[in-house]
Chain A
């Protein structure tokens, strides 16, 4: 049985609140990661994720059928993260200084894992140097594969503004990656 998001929302609204667990299961990961990027702290990110799901549960009646539940939820999450962020000084992910460090330089099983994950780590570090709005817009568009139209609704922008910001965001990301010394393939 694979209930659609809309069916589940309807089921929850008619009293079957246990069904909400399915929505949490489906979307906790992107929401948690969104919060993690803002909070840079796993515990804080989990608390914020919980608050977003509780808030979405309370506001479920405002969800309109025909709209993507994920986009609706993500919009709530982005707003919640921004509200949270305004009241705090954000701790940015620190960049590791380029250079030698024994622990980074070596480790057998760790070496291969590090190599595999290195690109992802560098991208995440470069993303962390962008403004919150730009970073989240790029992630929503490409990591979550959402349309320009959905991005416009989630980030409360016109579609042309979304396109412009994405273009600028990609340029900024390019610049950050180069600034961080992301080199062309070093392998044969």
Chain B
């Protein structure tokens, strides 16, 4: 991967899109309370007295305007007054109904007001302890506040109430992982994966837990298992980095135009076309996003040129079938009887007796080269 070069417009958009934090809710009443207490200076009061209206006249328009402004000021004063009521800001007014407290708590949580959300969620749990969702979100709020023990207690109470409640099982696993209780984390993730074998966080963190337990064999298998199912997003690239550090190069990343792709090289180079098919589907999908280019497949097989050639031909043939007759991406192949030197996901140079290099070139570039 290389550092991204932004153009000016991209930078401007990034700057415009970033979000700002909400001001604390008590700030406005506090500012207005201070302003309320401020008396005009003596000079100001004298000035106002001196320039006070003295002529008595009647104008319906002015009267209406005065009434409108007075009503507006009264309305605003009522709002500000309510905010300054004794008790306001000292504690939230909780609803009588568990569902209502839960919804308010969730809303506050979504708005990032975690400390305000917690009392509502706690109250919801007290009112309806048998509803697993309430205890789960109470746990999420505790977790966001860094209160790990209370977070865990919330999830445990949820799964006691409903043993198959997946969100709490998963978050309980995260909680154990974060607390360094790796075996307990693994047990939770296994429960999650029994119910949902594709669950990405459980798959990834399971690998991480093995790694923390210095069980590199199982960690490697778990990262492979994650990449078998998930190829996109930063966690796929992190899993790739872990695997390469562990010396496993089953998966490699390739850049096709602007697209970065993770592929199983062993499957691609295997003689079995069934195993190759899934990987070539990923490749074909990525190619559909890089119009105007041609694909190059370069196979390496140390000391065996024919094997390298056969691998490329097999891939070319199968990929062309997948892309269909009307496909606009030419597929070119090359083969060498030497080992491949490549840079792994962590930027370390590696060498492999067999390997596959995949890249794209724009058709324009290729044509230019041919004309020279």
Q: Is the CB of A21 within 8 A of B76?
A: yes
Q: CA–CA, A3 to B71, complex, Å? A: 14
Beta-carbon contacts of B164-206 to A below 8 Å, as 1s and 0s? 0001001100100110100000000000000000000100110
**Size band of the B side of the interface?**
35 or more
Residues in A15-64 with C-beta less than 8 Å from chain B: 16-22, 24-25, 28-33, 36, 42, 46, 49-50, 53-54, 57-58
Q: Is the CB of A183 within 8 A of B27?
A: no
Residue A103 at the B interface, CB < 8 A? yes
The listed residue (A46, A54, A124) touching B24 by CB distance below 8 A is: A46
Q: CA–CA, A3 to B2, complex, Å? A: 51
Q: A102-B208, A106-B178, A186-B237 are in contact. Are A22 and B6 (CB under 8 A)?
A: no
**Size band of the A side of the interface?**
35 or more
Q: Is the CB of A184 within 8 A of B76?
A: no
Q: A18-B73, A120-B18, A182-B3 are in contact. Are A106 and B177 (CB under 8 A)?
A: yes
Report chain B residues within 8 Å CB of A49: 23, 27, 31
Report chain A residues within 8 Å CB of B28: 21, 24-25, 28
Report chain A residues within 8 Å CB of B238: 105
The listed residue (A1, A17, A28, A173) touching B23 by CB distance below 8 A is: A28
Q: CA–CA, A183 to B253, complex, Å? A: 14
> For chains A and B in complex, what number of residue pairs have CB atoms within 8 angstroms?
171
Beta-carbon contacts of A127-167 to B below 8 Å, as 1s and 0s? 00000000000110011010000000000000000000000
Residue ID in chain B nearest A174 by CB atoms: B6
Tell me if B's interface is mostly helix, strand, loop or mixed: helix
Taking each of A3, A24, A138, which has the highest tally of chain B beta carbons within 10 Å of its own beta carbon?
Answer: A24
Residues in B9-46 with C-beta less than 8 Å from chain A: 11-12, 14-24, 27-28, 30-32, 34-36, 38
Q: How far is the CB of B52 from chain A (nearest CB, A)?
A: 11
Q: A109-B140, A142-B16, A145-B16 are in contact. Are A11 and B233 (CB under 8 A)?
A: no
Beta-carbon contacts of A172-188 to B below 8 Å, as 1s and 0s? 01100110011111111
Residues in B68-126 with C-beta less than 8 Å from chain A: 69, 72-73, 76-77, 79-80
Report chain B residues within 8 Å CB of A30: 20
Residue A115 at the B interface, CB < 8 A? yes
The listed residue (B19, B35, B174, B260) touching A188 by CB distance below 8 A is: B260
Residues in A83-105 with C-beta less than 8 Å from chain B: 102-103, 105
Q: Is the CB of A186 within 8 A of B3?
A: no
Q: A11-B69, A18-B77 are in contact. Are A188 and B259 (CB under 8 A)?
A: yes
Q: A11-B69, A54-B31, A115-B234 are in contact. Are A184 and B4 (CB under 8 A)?
A: yes
Q: CA–CA, A177 to B10, complex, Å? A: 12
Q: Is the CB of B143 within 8 A of A110?
A: yes
Report chain A residues within 8 Å CB of B366: none
Q: CA–CA, A33 to B24, complex, Å? A: 11
Q: How far is the CB of B297 from chain A (nearest CB, A)?
A: 18
Residue B261 at the A interface, CB < 8 A? yes
Report chain B residues within 8 Å CB of A65: none
Q: How far is the CB of B22 from chain A (nearest CB, A)?
A: 6
Q: CA–CA, A108 to B212, complex, Å? A: 19
Q: Is the CB of A182 within 8 A of B4?
A: yes
Report chain B residues within 8 Å CB of A106: 174, 177-178, 201, 204-205, 208
Residue ID in chain A nearest B262 by CB atoms: A188
Q: CA–CA, A18 to B71, complex, Å? A: 12
Q: Is the CB of B174 within 8 A of A110?
A: yes
Q: Is the CB of A177 within 8 A of B76?
A: no
Q: How far is the CB of B106 from chain A (nearest CB, A)?
A: 12
Q: Is the CB of A20 within 8 A of B21?
A: no
Q: Is the CB of A184 within 8 A of B174?
A: no
Q: Is the CB of B174 within 8 A of A107?
A: yes
Report chain B residues within 8 Å CB of A32: 21, 23-24, 27
Q: Is the CB of A142 within 8 A of B174?
A: no
20 A-B pairs whose Cβ atoms sit less than 8 Å apart in the complex? A11-B69, A19-B72, A19-B73, A24-B31, A32-B23, A32-B24, A49-B31, A50-B30, A50-B34, A57-B35, A106-B201, A106-B205, A119-B14, A123-B14, A123-B15, A178-B4, A184-B2, A186-B1, A188-B232, A188-B260
Q: A: which residues have CB within 8 A of B? A: 1, 3, 11, 16-22, 24-25, 28-33, 36, 42, 46, 49-50, 53-54, 57-58, 102-103, 105-111, 115, 119-120, 123-124, 138-139, 142-143, 145, 170, 173-174, 177-178, 181-188
Q: Which 6 A-B pairs give the minimum distances between C-beta atoms?
A: A142-B15, A32-B23, A178-B3, A33-B20, A28-B23, A120-B18
